[in-house]
Amino acid sequence: MWRIIGLETRNAADNMAIDDAIAECVASGLSPPTIRFYMWREPGAVSIGRFQSAADELDIEACRRLGIEIVRRRTGGGAVFHDSEITYSVAAPEWYFSPGIHGSYHEICSCIIRGLSYLGIKADFRPINDVIVNGKKISGSAQTRRNGVILQHGTILYGLDRQKMFTVLRPSRLKLSDKPLSSFTDGVTCVKEVTGASIEQLYEALLRGFTRGKEWRLGSPTENELALTKAMIKKYESGEWNFSR
């Protein structure tokens, strides 16, 4: 049976450490497969992918000036500005999903697409790891695998402050080269731009989208997970990890 950890707000290092701890506990058989929904403490945070360089991807000085935390994820993928959005994580044995990395991305992203459909939003999967609405990105996900467990987390944009987003993020313009876009601001959208739903309604829709067809119960992190989280937070707070590339 799946455990759902309902929407909660934490700081950046906490959010990454608890996802990591849950995945470790799922791998050792101490915890059930888990879906967690969360947000990031104001004024927001930036997470960079496991293999990115913060100096290349971000305006670090702008982050400091705006009080925006920077954290490196355990998962690959691109830099994300966590502001007005809902983040999810899924930690479960690999055999719960379609074989192969691409199939499992599609499967988990289908839960997001289903959730958005409950708000009347028609979304599509764009390989490798995006969900799009009207050709624009509304959700991105990142996955890693260790000890037979998939950890995938991703974000669903509710609101969008494009100016702030692209003050903080400095993606290479080469990333536009295979898209019919002239700027990054044209390539993203959010729930608030395509429907009048509240963020609470978005959460309810995502909860339905992720749990449909599953046996599940609401739960909280276990004592084991919290102890492991405490041990892992130092890593996610450290410059050695966050600025390692």
What secondary structure, in 3-state letters, does 78-121 show?
CCEEECCEEEEEEEEEHHHCCCCHHHHHHHHHHHHHHHHHCCCC
Binding another protein (rule: CB under 8 A), the pick from 10, 106, 145, 208 is 145
Burial 141-150 (b: 16+ CB within 10 A, else e): bbbbeeeebb
Strands 149-157 and 85-93, bridge-based pairing: antiparallel
Letters for 22-51 (x = contact with another protein by CB under 8 A, - = none) are ---------------------------xxx
Q: Among 31, 34, 47, 75, which residue sits at the site for another protein (rule: CB under 8 A)?
A: 75
Q: Which range of residues in 5-13, 60-68, 74-82, 192-200 is near another protein by CB under 8 A?
A: 74-82
Contact residue for another protein among 65, 162, 175, 214 (CB under 8 A): 175
Question: Residue 32 or residue 171: which is nearer to another protein going by CB?
Answer: 171
183 sits near another protein (criterion: CB under 8 A): no
Pick between residue 173 and residue 213 the one whose CB is nearest to another protein: 173
Neighbour order of strands in the sheet with 149-157: 124-126, 130-133, 136-146, 149-157, 85-93, 34-40, 2-10, 216-218
Q: Could you give the CA distance from residue 116 to residue 206 in angstroms, rounded to a whole number?
A: 7
In angstroms, the Cα distances linking 41 to 15, 32, 45, 98, 196 are 10, 27, 8, 34, 24
Is there binding between residue 142 and another protein (CB under 8 A)? yes
| Shortest CB 185 distance to another protein, Å | 18
Among 17, 70, 71, 79, binds another protein (CB under 8 A): 79
Residue 185: strand pairing partners: none
Contact pattern from residue 102 through residue 141 relative to another protein, giving x for each residue in contact according to CB under 8 A and a dash for the rest: x------------------------xx-------------
User: What DSSP element (H or E) covers 150?
Assistant: strand 149-157
Rule CB under 8 A: choose which of 95, 174, 180, 196 binds another protein. 174
For binding to another protein (CB under 8 A), which residues are involved? 49-53, 56, 74-79, 101-102, 127-128, 142-146, 172, 174-175, 177-178, 245
